Structure 1
């Protein structure tokens, strides 16, 4: 039982280590986290329903998660292909586009929620 708990505690340690490293060493991840905190602060001034809060929190988590995935893919691509390669650029551009699409969707949904509260 002790080794079972040790194994899972170690997994959480690695996850929190990755979270901390991403926030402190990756400007894009840090920016998305700051924007997420700002969004939560802005939404706190409005009378959101439980469903609206769930949507906001899921979208913030989705954008930050995708930024972590984007950074991980970029690191893997840089490791595999340290020199410029057009295919490596395409892979990185696709990941950046994925973050952009989710960020735009989150922004539109935030405007819809806030617009409903302001009108």
Structure 2
């Protein structure tokens, strides 16, 4: 009987743990959006890209690439923000090594954003050119 009670408690605890993880993640998203203005810019661009994808009727593969690119860029920005906060926590005053860490994280984030723009051009530019050609001819 005790084993059965343990299994029931364990299942209940799993549900609570999952609920807590989503709650913690939601708080993390809200905190990052408050602290990192770049994320607001990314959200605006994401809305525009999704709208453009709907308008241009991109394929399932193209949607997969777009969604993956969005996930990587936003996820990476969250990692960058957390690393910057961690460095700030460890370094109470100006420290050249802390600055290097933050600069390298910022560079990685920018490189990621530039690659995502290139992917966006590869996805959308041919369809936009085709649309413009069909309208003008």
Within 2, Cα distance between the matches of 1:88 and 1:42?
A: 40
Residue 28 of structure 2: which of 14, 18, 25 is its match?
18
Residue 48 of structure 2: which of 35, 38, 47 is its match?
38
- What's the TM-score, normalizing by structure 1? 0.91
Mapping of residues 30-69 of structure 1, within 5 Å: 30-69=40-79
Q: Which residue of 2 aligns with 1:93?
A: 103
CA contact (8 A) 1:59 1:106 kept: yes
Q: Deviations over 1:62-105 (max 9, x none)?
A: 11111111110110111101211111111111111111111111
Within 1, Cα distance between the matches of 2:93 and 2:41?
A: 27
SS of corresponding position for 1:48 = coil
The count of corresponding residues between Structure 1 and Structure 2 is 119
Gaps of 5+ in 2: 1-10, 131-137
Higher Cα Rg: structure 1 or 2?
2
- What's the TM-score, normalizing by structure 2? 0.80
Shift of the alpha carbon at 1:24?
Answer: 3.2
Shift of the alpha carbon at 1:43?
Answer: 2.1
Within 1, Cα distance between the matches of 2:31 and 2:53?
A: 28
Matched, 1:76 2:93: no
The RMSD of aligned alpha carbons is 1.3
